[in-house]
Chains A and B, each alone.
Chain A
Amino acid sequence: MSTVTLDKPVAARSEGGRRTPGDALVAGTSHTMLIIWSVIVIVPFCWVVLSSFKTSKEILSSPFSLPAEWSFDNYASAWTKAGIGTYFFNTVIVVGTALVLVMLLGAMCAYVLARFEFFGRRVIYYTMLAGLTFPVFLVIVPLFFVLQGFGLLNTLPGLILTYVAYALPFTVFFLYAFFKTLPDDVYEAAMMDGAGEWRTFFRIMLPMAAPGMAGVAIFNFLGLWNQFLLPVALNTDRDNYVLTQGMASFSSQAGYNVDFGALFAGVVLTVLPVLVVYLIFQRRIAGTVSTGTFR
């Protein structure tokens, strides 16, 4: 038995380094398919970037040529005239605040649910879980009137609180799994040293959960930055628009006189921050769940 199992890896290793014809075939086919897919993903974006430097007339008359001259006029008019600048600022405030709040509240909730046994634990956990599956459309009308009742309709704080509430189930669900895996010994040791629950959480358990927190935070950032339905229904004051709303109204409101150049520039401006966050953290995104068994 042992000789058999030993034999084969040795045989495999003897031809190591060289690729078999099968390898080459599989690699070739896979690369071809993946390159085609990458082109389908990338080309529309390149086209948008290119178009964002053209005048609207150029876009309509010769959609595929290079811009006659590379000008940033579209960006200027998108930023100021179309109000993208204001929307950008609003989005940063709303998403930033909501993100900090939801990570804090989510970690608190997940920690208690994962590491304490008490009456009603399952009820809370499953209610949160159900919150993940219920479509927002079920509540969009009542939510409108709840916010109105608090005087928070069409305000940024109202939007922030709503974002927090709807990002909470996702956050709790994933951090719950994370806090469950943290070793009990550390907690016991901290208790033994008289750290108390509060200090144990903020000084020991939370820092230990940092990798999980980072992963969830990135996903929350992307989700909140891209949120559209909640602001469309609950934040109809033009001064308080967030980017996604601004983009949608920008293209629809102008009707047949759409400033295409500024529209494309607006797309680039909306995508750029998420692209930066994504490129910086893409390893973390991929690694959030992975332990890097082999790479």
Chain B
Amino acid sequence: MAQTAGGPSEENPWGAAPGRRRRKLTLDRALFMTVFLGLPVAVFVIFVVVPIGQALFYSLTDWTGFSPVMNFVGFDNYAKLLDDETFLKALRNNILLTLVVPLVTLVAALAIAVVVTTAGPSTGQVRGLNGSGFYRVVSFFPYAVPAVVIGLLWAQVYDPAAGLLNGMLTGIGLDGFKDYAWLGEVRAAMPASMFVIIWASIGFYTVLFVAAIKGVPAEIYEAARIDGAGRFRTAISITLPSIRDNVQTAYIYLGILTLDAYVFMAALAPGGGPANSTLTMSQHLMNTAFKKSQFGYATSMGVVLALVTLLFAALVFVVFHFAGGRDKKGDVR
């Protein structure tokens, strides 16, 4: 990638035009590009880039926010994080979420996407199950619902006394679940919360994969069928490699979601659950910043959160790179 980066043409972009999109700079064009780039980039820099820079600085101070007093304390905040049992617990919770949720979500979403696109009758055109449109519409729907509302809704479903879940379980004779507090037991709170995130995410990734699979030329599937490949074999050997990039992107998205997980967790268990069993870094950060006003310390948590996220993304890239050696695309991407 980036063949021309650092090359001579990059230093003198307005010289002789070797690239096909390199054109002479007229006044009209210069004005056009300035306005078109300037406005969005200005908004982006003011509200995203500058705050990131400030965050890095604040994290090295003992700032409490509303007073101008701000002492530079170096990496003290980060050292303090290593001794903060609550933060470490939250970090472990986030890692647990990131190990379980993306994997389950992606496997389920891939299975549904494969079934609704290519698991139809083995004769005639390659197509999905009958009525697959219905499943697609239904399973995407939770994505359209605000995460807060999903959290509130499931908090009601999990309600020990008046909740839907216990009502159904006792209804089919499992009386052991009468008044069982799904979000109040250390053992159950985390799995129950994970289920909510998975429930909410599967649909979106199903739609993503359905679109990707539909982008695979039908001839490839027909060729595979002519060669005698069954559905499972086709899914593993044709579909999966063809949408590898989408799976990778989805994995990273889901990882970002679970390393944050704030909205779901805050709506399900605002206090962090029993014995902090569902507390996330993001919740701890918000408490530290906006309840305890330890802004410097809180931003150092934000920096750690960002670093963990980047590390995760890099890890996924490396794993996917070695897991399957498909050719890389040449352009900036």
Contact = CB atoms under 8 A, between A and B. Distances in A.
B211 A116 contact: no
B302 A59 contact: no
Contacts of B256: 133, 135
A104 B115 CA distance: 38
Given A142-B58, A197-B32, A244 B43 contact: no
A208 interface: no
B47 A18 contact: no
A177 B157 CA distance: 41
Given A139-B302, A252-B270, A133 B310 contact: yes
A12 interface: yes
A197 B152 contact: no
B167 interface: yes
A92 interface: no
Nearest to A38: B138
A40 B23 CA distance: 56
Interface residues of A, number: 114
A196 B23 CA distance: 13
Interface residues of B, number: 122
A98 B127 CA distance: 39
Contacts of B164: 43-44, 47, 63-64
A168 B146 CA distance: 20
B47 A42 contact: no
Interface string A23-43: 100110011001001101111
Interface stretch (B34-42, B174-182, B318-326): B34-42
A251 B215 contact: no
A137 B260 contact: yes
Given A40-B199, A63-B162, A117 B22 contact: yes
Interface string A1-33: 000010011001101111110110011001100
B162 A60 contact: yes
Contact of A233 (B37, B43, B202, B290): B290
Contact of A279 (B50, B137, B285, B310): B137
Interface string A106-129: 101101110111110110110110
Interface string A236-263: 0000000110011001100000001001
Given A119-B13, A134-B52, A287-B211, A228 B148 contact: yes
Contacts of A270: 145-146, 149
Chain A contact surface mostly: helix
B97 to A, nearest CB: 14
Contacts of A79: none
B282 A30 contact: no
Nearest to A113: B37
A290 interface: yes
Contacts of A26: 119, 231
Contact of B46 (A48, A109, A127, A146): A146
Contacts of B330: none
A138 B298 contact: no
Nearest to B47: A165
Given A8-B226, A30-B129, A142 B136 contact: no
A138 B303 contact: yes
B87 interface: no
B140 interface: yes
Nearest to B54: A142
Given A9-B226, A40-B199, A137-B305, A282 B153 contact: no
A166 to B, nearest CB: 7
A17 B123 contact: yes
Contact of A135 (B41, B171, B222, B309): B309
A31 B78 CA distance: 52
Interface string B244-264: 000000001000100110110
A290 B13 contact: no
Contact of B135 (A15, A34, A233, A263): A34
Given A20-B122, A37-B202, 11 more contacts: A9-B226, A43-B164, A45-B153, A133-B256, A137-B305, A137-B306, A142-B51, A184-B20, A267-B149, A286-B210, A294-B218
Interface of B: 2, 5, 10-11, 13, 19-23, 28-29, 32-33, 35-37, 39-41, 43-44, 46-52, 54-55, 58, 65, 112, 115-116, 119-127, 129-131, 134-149, 152-157, 161-164, 167, 171, 199, 202-203, 207-208, 210-212, 214-218, 221-222, 225-226, 231, 252, 256, 259-260, 262-263, 266-267, 270, 281-282, 285-286, 289-290, 295, 298-299, 301-303, 305-306, 309-310, 313, 331-332
25 contacts: A8-B226, A12-B225, A27-B120, A30-B115, A30-B119, A34-B116, A41-B139, A44-B154, A111-B36, A117-B13, A128-B44, A131-B49, A135-B282, A136-B260, A138-B51, A138-B305, A139-B48, A141-B295, A142-B52, A172-B40, A180-B331, A226-B148, A248-B152, A271-B146, A289-B211
Interface of A: 5, 8-9, 12-13, 15-20, 22-23, 26-27, 30-31, 34, 37-38, 40-45, 47-48, 51, 59-60, 63-64, 105-106, 108-109, 111-113, 115-119, 121-122, 124-125, 127-128, 131, 133-143, 145-146, 161-162, 164-166, 168-169, 172, 180, 184, 196-198, 201, 222, 225-226, 228-229, 233, 243-244, 247-248, 251-252, 260, 263-264, 267, 270-271, 274-275, 277-279, 282, 285-295
